[in-house]
Amino acid sequence: MSSQFNFKEGVVYANGIELHYVEHGSGPLVLFCHGWPESWYSWRHQLQTVGDAGYRAVALHMRGYGKTTQPEDVEAYTISSLVGDVVGSVVGLGESEAIVVGHDWGGPVAWYSALMRPDVFRAVAVLSVPFNPPFPLPAGIDLNDVMRESAAGRQYYRLFFQEQGVAEADFERDVRKSMLGVLYVFSGDIVRDQIHEIGWDGHFPIDETMTEQFVIPEKLPEWLTEADLDFYVKEHTAAGFSGGFNWYRNIKRLPAHLAPFVGKSLEQPALYLYGEHDLVAGNTPEALHSMQATLPDLRKCLKFEGAGHWLQQERADEVNKELIEFFASLA
């Protein structure tokens, strides 16, 4: 493990795969789920603080990432499989219940884990992606077609990821540029540095690639060190990007997998945190209002002014404070 952190690591066998994890501390289990294109390392600041506060803080390498198994079959990355990984990890770690925390794609995994298995997850905290309750979709409607129509002739990053091999070639051509570019363009720094007025929403010209949209800053954001960037680059150079892209390639399967839970309420205590300049995760006033109406025990919905998508890294101390206060309220 990195000399910068005194964390333990291990492997749990769950849901038919091996999931690598990193942990710190002892006490009630808090399970952290990262998103794209990230790693357990995205939770490095939270692991330290939460573990020191009297919890067993565990950050998973999610399916398809890092040292965790990367199934070749695209359909092995459905939301049901991802939730199964998280549930199985709780059992594999020798626990019976947990608080689940998610960011980016780890957000829906956390939300739906809590929705599907309230017997396992006693509370849920999510960063950057609001709760979208399962909804019935008319037969013949494909969510990718809905996104394509909404894009109105432009490319959209979630659509760009759909064709196998295309996004991989784009991102793996220069992994360092790809990682720095994606971390910068979706951060609050892109507004502070006057590159975008309010943030980037993930749309771009149909005949261009995603990495062509990236602006490489002259110096790293204050929240990202050279050592941090080196970690991400080394990990994605070794593991590639296909696993993460395969999560997006199952968006069209979401309605079918969530259909049994249409109308079911998520009753557990919940916390939601998001950045002012995060335009890719659906943090519209309408979505936030709807979320508050569908989560009966939403303890707090907090916007971080000036922040972007990588909230737990951009505003680590503030996020840690909110998490610890939320966890303490559950006692």
309 is catalytic: yes
One-letter-per-residue 3-state SS of 130-173: CCCCCCCCCCCCCHHHHHHHHHCCCEEHHHHCCCCCHHHHHHHC
Strand 17-24 relative to strand 56-60: parallel, antiparallel, unpaired?
Answer: antiparallel
Phi, psi for 124 (deg, rounded to 5): -140, 135
Q: CA separation (Å) from 191 to 96, 179, 209, 223, 276?
A: 43, 19, 22, 15, 10
One-letter-per-residue 3-state SS of 223-236: CCCHHHHHHHHHHH
Catalytic residue among 104, 189, 228, 278: 104
Catalytic residue among 232, 248, 272, 274: 248
104 is catalytic: yes
Closest of 118, 158, 111 to residue 133, by C-alpha:
111
Tokens representing 104 are 């980016």
Catalytic residue among 20, 24, 61, 309: 309
Reported in sequence order, the residue ranges of 25-143 that DSSP labels E, i.e. its strands, are: 29-33, 56-60, 98-103, 121-127
Reported in sequence order, the residue ranges of the chain that DSSP labels E, i.e. its strands, are: 8-14, 17-24, 29-33, 56-60, 98-103, 121-127, 155-156, 203-204, 270-275, 298-304
How many Å apart are CA 275 and CA 278, to the nearest integer? 5
CB 177 within 8 A of CB 211: yes
Residues annotated as catalytic (active site), given as ranges: 104, 248, 309
